[in-house]
Amino acid sequence: MQLNRLVAFYKTMGDPTRIRIVFLLAKGPLHGQAIAGKLGLTPPTITHHLNKLREINLVYQRRDKNTVYFYLNESVLKHQSGVLAKLADKEEVKKMEEQNSENQKVIENFFTRDGKLKNIPAQRKKKLMVFEHLIKGLKMGKKYEEKELNEYIKQYHEDYATIRREFIINHYMYRENGIYELNPPEMWAKIEG
């Protein structure tokens, strides 16, 4: 669970204009000037807020001729609201704690003291924990050349090709024209409790 992303989500939603935009888009897509009109604000201001909303993956856009339509990404909305809601439930909190300590044990087992990966776990659950640990050093939104990504992985383990492939298979990253980028956490392979 990435604290930064959660904070970014809440910080972004903590603005009346952006909340109103989200409410508007919940009813269906709109283009920029329509939003500006309904909210009584200027287009630059709307662009500014849509950028913020895009940063947290909450809106995406599609172009039709000259006008750009903005869409709400419902799955992100549901997922991020859910994280805090779970804290209201003692059972869920206990689960999260257990998962955290279990996680930590696995990491300690599979990494040497100076941070190298000893070997790739065979068990799926542990393997995913290891991958989630590895990608913590990658930046969201940054585009990586294949070579650059290989170098990054190599600092943990020599078999960078296998690990790089696993990143794709398990949807931690996606590739486009030989360029790699992190997916948002909602898309990652899930470690079921």
DSSP classification of residue 183: P
Classified as helix, coil or strand, 154 is: helix
Buried b (16+ CB within 10 A) or exposed e, 30-48: bbbeebbeebebeeeebee
Q: Is 177 left (phi over 0), alpha (psi -120 to 50) or beta?
A: left
Number of residues in contact with a copy of itself, rule: CB under 8 A? 33
User: Residue 82 burial by CB count (10 A; 0-12/13-18/19+): exposed, middle or buried?
Assistant: exposed
Residue 123: which of a copy of itself, DNA, none does it interact with, CB under 5 to 8 A by kind? none
175 binds DNA (CB under 7 A): no
Residue 13 interacts with a copy of itself (CB under 8 A): yes or no = yes
23 binds a copy of itself per the rule CB under 8 A: yes
- In the complex with a copy of itself, the residue whose CB is nearer, 9 or 188, is 9
Among the listed residues 2, 33, 75, 155, the single contact to a copy of itself using CB under 8 A = 75
Residue 141's contacts (CB-CB under 8 Å, 6 or more residues apart) are 55, 181, 182
The site partner of 98 among a copy of itself, DNA, none (C-beta below 5 to 8 Å per kind) is none
Binding site for a copy of itself (CB under 8 A): 3-4, 6-16, 19-20, 22-23, 26-27, 72, 74-75, 77-78, 81-82, 84-85, 87-89, 93, 97
Binding site for DNA (CB under 7 A): 11, 15-17, 31-33, 36, 41-52, 61, 63, 65-68
